[in-house]
């Protein structure tokens, strides 16, 4: 006989159920807001100056274009990079315009966003007609199958939707064959790659064969297969020397792991370390290592030590392009793009003058306190996108977006410090609608083409919006 759970446990279950409903509703509201922003955001397509905002097509066949600077505003609001924001916009456009049945299921709370995006990303290569067929298959399956069962059939359905595209993908994969080794995390790397099927099977068998020759102390078969990768690599390098690699390692000079040694002890060109792991060294493009492991990591290497330059010791400069020492100091002190939530490494960025450089602006314009790394995209956003930037103190960047959101960016990260006051009577839009020309020449429902750009014609659920059609 069924027994009721204690009241306190039932309350916890009810709270969990309520929280799950709120999470789903919030997810729907967020994606509808992104869709609405993409629909209402306009671009002045008559502007022809270099660097001005363009209409781009981040989604796939059958999706409309959007203004490229929209991603900057959404990135700040969500606390993500501009690249992630552009991908979010692309995902919303793909689901809404390419998979209308999936979109309706998501709006109804039947699916989570990650499930929907998983499908649309898998089907990114399909054209409009093939996607329509796949969307119908999914609509049928969602009524009778679990999501896990659907996942087992999606790849087959994608092949069936367009066999010609499947053949092209197989040929393209042949040209994409590659093997990658990830950065270091917790002292280990991840290996990923695309290889010929026969090579993959042969490699799998080779790993198992070598693993079975290793002592049991190496662990179970799974762990010994991992160790076998190193055995195979060292055998090859013993026959044919591998090319030298250059890496940049950042270490805090005060780390005790580097100081508590005899000056004469050297391994691979640097002083040996204490056996106590007291800090971390960052290997650019790879990841972090305990400083105590640096001697082993750099064994046999030629090491060049470059101390960080004090930016205050560098005199202000007159040329637009900073000297190597000034650029190195700025890149070291500001390691990433200083746009809100920027993620691009500063070495890959432009050095932007916070107060724009002027040919007649006098000497000393290029200096610490008036420079900041910006990616090529965020540099254009700052120059042409209506964002306002000041640097109240060196290394502190105050941004104001065109919509009125304000952020403080330092080397430690981003803080949103102000949001615009909502207009009286405004509310979150519930739905979006209206037809528009789309990528690939197709016509997608629920979007209109405005006079200046990708503006709306027919909208619902946004009372009081100045763009709403009567």
CA distances from 27 to 12, 112, 115, 120, 459 (A): 22, 8, 12, 17, 21
DSSP single-letter state for residue 24: H
Whether 351 maps to a domain, the answer reads yes
192 and 229 belong to one structural domain: yes
* Total domains in the fold of the chain: 4
Reduced to 3 states (helix: H, G, I; strand: E, B; else coil), residue 239 is: helix
288 and 395 belong to one structural domain: no
11 and 149 belong to one structural domain: yes
141 and 48 belong to one structural domain: yes
Are the CB atoms for 318 and 366 separated by under 8 Å?
A: yes
Structure tokens at 360: 């007649």
Tally Cβ neighbours within 10 Å of residue 200: 12
Domain C-terminal end among 239, 262, 288: 239
Whether 438 maps to a domain, the answer reads no
148 and 286 belong to one structural domain: no
The rounded distance, in Å, linking the Cα atoms of 416 and 80 is 12
15 and 154 belong to one structural domain: yes
**Highest-scoring range by mean pLDDT, 106-120, 380-394, 438-452:** 380-394
pLDDT tens digit sequence for 267-297: 333 333 334 445 677 777 667 777 777 777 7
Output the pTM of the full model: 0.66
Q: Which of 6-15, 256-265, 305-314 has the lowest mean pLDDT?
A: 256-265
Q: CA geometry: angle at 333 spanning 257 and 87, to 5°?
A: 105
> Sign of dihedral through CA atoms 301, 302, 307, 309?
negative
Whether 442 maps to a domain, the answer reads no
Q: What is the pLDDT of residue 281?
A: 75
> Percentage of residues in the chain with pLDDT exceeding 70?
78
229 and 339 belong to one structural domain: no
pLDDT tens digit sequence for 362-421: 889 999 999 999 999 999 999 998 899 999 999 999 999 988 889 999 988 888 888 887
Domain C-terminal end among 418, 440, 460: 418
Domain C-terminal end among 418, 439, 463: 418
353 and 288 belong to one structural domain: no
Whether 19 maps to a domain, the answer reads yes
pLDDT tier for residue 345 given thresholds of 50, 70 and 90:
confident
Reduced to 3 states (helix: H, G, I; strand: E, B; else coil), residue 247 is: coil
Domain extent, residue 28, equals: 7-161
24 and 90 belong to one structural domain: yes
Q: What is the pLDDT of residue 197?
A: 63
Whether 168 maps to a domain, the answer reads no
23 and 131 belong to one structural domain: yes
**Residue whose entry in the numeric block shows the structure tokens 């750099």:** 298
- Write the DSSP assignment of 36-54 as a string of letters: HHHHH----TT--STT---
The rounded distance, in Å, linking the Cα atoms of 224 and 345 is 36
Structure tokens at 332: 């070291």
Residue among 317, 383, 318 at smallest CA distance from 350: 383
258 and 234 belong to one structural domain: no
Whether 425 maps to a domain, the answer reads no
Residue among 353, 357, 305 at smallest CA distance from 326: 353
pLDDT at 97 over 80: yes
pLDDT tier for residue 9 given thresholds of 50, 70 and 90:
confident
Whether 90 maps to a domain, the answer reads yes
189 and 47 belong to one structural domain: no
Whether 60 maps to a domain, the answer reads yes
């Amino acid at each position: 006989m069924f027994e009721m759970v204690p009241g306190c446990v039932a309350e916890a279950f009810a709270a969990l159920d309520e929280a799950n409903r709120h999470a789903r509703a919030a997810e729907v509201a967020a994606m509808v807001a992104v869709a609405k922003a993409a629909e209402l955001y306009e671009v002045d397509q008559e502007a022809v100056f270099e660097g001005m905002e363009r209409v781009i097509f981040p989604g796939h066949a059958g999706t409309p274009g959007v203004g490229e600077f929209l991603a900057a505003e959404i990135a700040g609001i969500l606390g993500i990079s501009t690249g992630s924001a552009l991908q979010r916009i692309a995902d919303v456009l793909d689901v809404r315009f390419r998979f209308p049945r999936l979109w309706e299921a998501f709006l109804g709370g039947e699916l989570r966003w990650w499930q929907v995006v998983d499908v649309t990303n898998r089907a990114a290569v399909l054209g409009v007609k093939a996607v329509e067929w796949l969307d119908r298959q999914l609509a049928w399956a969602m009524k009778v199958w679990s999501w896990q069962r659907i996942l087992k059939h999606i790849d087959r359905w994608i092949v069936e939707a367009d066999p010609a595209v499947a053949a092209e993908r197989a040929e393209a994969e042949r040209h994409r064959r590659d093997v990658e080794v990830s950065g270091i995390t917790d002292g280990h790397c991840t290996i990923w790659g695309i290889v010929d099927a026969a090579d993959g099977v042969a490699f799998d068998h080779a790993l198992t064969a070598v693993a079975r020759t290793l002592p049991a102390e190496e662990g179970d078969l799974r762990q010994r297969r991992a160790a076998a990768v190193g055995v195979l690599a060292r055998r090859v390098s013993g026959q044919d020397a591998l090319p030298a690699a250059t890496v940049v390692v950042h270490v805090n000079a005060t780390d005790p792991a580097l100081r508590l040694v005899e000056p004469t002890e050297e391994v691979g060109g640097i002083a040996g370390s204490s056996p106590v792991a007291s800090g971390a060294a960052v290997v650019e493009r790879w990841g972090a290592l305990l400083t105590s492991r640096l001697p082993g990591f750099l064994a046999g290497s030629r090491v060049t030590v470059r101390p960080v330059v004090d930016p205050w010791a560098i005199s202000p400069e007159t040329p637009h392009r900073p000297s190597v020492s000034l650029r190195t100091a700025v890149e070291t002190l500001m390691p990433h793009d200083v746009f809100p939530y920027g993620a691009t490494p500063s070495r890959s960025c432009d050095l932007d003058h916070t107060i724009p450089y002027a040919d007649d602006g006098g000497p000393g314009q290029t200096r610490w306190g008036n420079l900041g790394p910006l990616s090529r995209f965020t540099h254009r956003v700052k120059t042409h996108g209506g964002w306002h930037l000041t640097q109240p103190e060196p290394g502190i960047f105050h941004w104001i977006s065109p919509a009125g959101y304000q952020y403080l960016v330092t080397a430690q990260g981003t803080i949103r410090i102000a949001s615009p006051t909502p207009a009286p009577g405004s509310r979150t839009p519930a739905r979006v609608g209206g037809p528009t020309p789309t990528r690939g020449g197709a016509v997608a429902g629920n979007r209109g083409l405005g006079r200046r750009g990708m503006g709306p014609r027919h909208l619902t659920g946004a009372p009081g919006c100045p763009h709403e059609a009567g």
